[in-house]
Amino acid sequence: MSQETRALVPQPAAPAPTVESEEGELPADRFLDRERSWLAFNDRVLDLAEDPGTPLLERTNFLSIFASNLDEFFMVRVAGLKRRIATGVATRSLTGQAPRDVLESIWASAREQMGRHAACYQTSVAPQLAGEGIHLLRWPDLTEEEQTRLFSLFRKKIFPVLTPLAVDPVHPFPYISGLSLNLAVVVRNPASGHEHFARVKVPPLLDRFLEASPQRFVPVEDVIAAHLEELFRGMEVLAHHVFRVTRNEDLEVEEDDAENLIQALEKELLRRRFGPPVRLEVEESIDPQVLDLLVRELKISREEVFSVPGPLDLTGLRSISSLDRPDLKYPKFVAGTHRDLAEVESASAADVFAALRQRDVLLHHPYDSFSTSVQAFLEQAAADPDVLAIKQTLYRTSGDSPIVDALIDAAESGKQVLVLVELKARFDEHANIRWARKLEQAGCHVVYGLLGLKTHCKLSLVVRQEGDELRRYSHVGTGNYHPKTARLYEDLGLLTADAQVGADLSDLFNRLSGYSRRDNYRRLLVAPRSLRDGLVSRIRREIEHHRAGRPAWVRFKVNSIVDEAVIDALYRASQAGVPVDVWVRGICSLRPGVPGLSENIRVRSVLGRFLEHSRVYAFAGGGENEVWLGSADLMHRNLDRRIETLVRVTDPGHRSSLTRLLATGMSDESESWHLDRDGGWTRYAFDEDGGPLRNVQESLIEGRRKRRAAGA
Residues making up the binding site for ATP: 69, 489, 585, 613
Count of CB atoms within 10 A of residue 88's CB?
7
Name the binding residues. Answer: 69, 396, 426, 489, 585, 613
171 as an active site residue: the answer is no
> Which residues on neighbouring strands pair with residue 419, listed in sequence order?
392, 446
Half-sphere exposure of 271 (CA within 13 A, CB side): 10
End-to-end CA distance of the chain: 59
Distance CA 604, CA 670 (A): 10
Integer angstrom CA distances of residue 318 from 132, 215, 287, 498, 556: 17, 15, 30, 42, 32
How does DSSP assign 58-87, residue by residue? HHHHHHHHHHHHHHHIIIIIIHHHHHHHHH
Of 497, 557, 495, nearest to 369 (Cα)?
495
- Cross-sheet strand order for the sheet of 164-167: 164-167, 195-201, 181-188, 236-247, 277-283, 305-308
Residues 6+ apart with CB under 8 A from 229: 237
Verify cis geometry, omega within 30 degrees of 0, for the bond prior to 12: no
> Which residues on neighbouring strands pair with residue 695, listed in sequence order?
none
Strands 672-675 and 601-605: antiparallel
Q: Of these residues, 456, 482, 545, 546, which one is catalytic?
A: 456
Assess contact for 183 and 313: CB atoms under 8 A.
Answer: no
Assess contact for 615 and 559: CB atoms under 8 A.
Answer: yes
Integer angstrom CA distances of residue 3 from 8, 9, 12, 253, 518: 9, 10, 17, 18, 16
Distance CA 460, CA 581 (A): 31
Q: Indicate which residues carry an active-site annotation.
A: 456
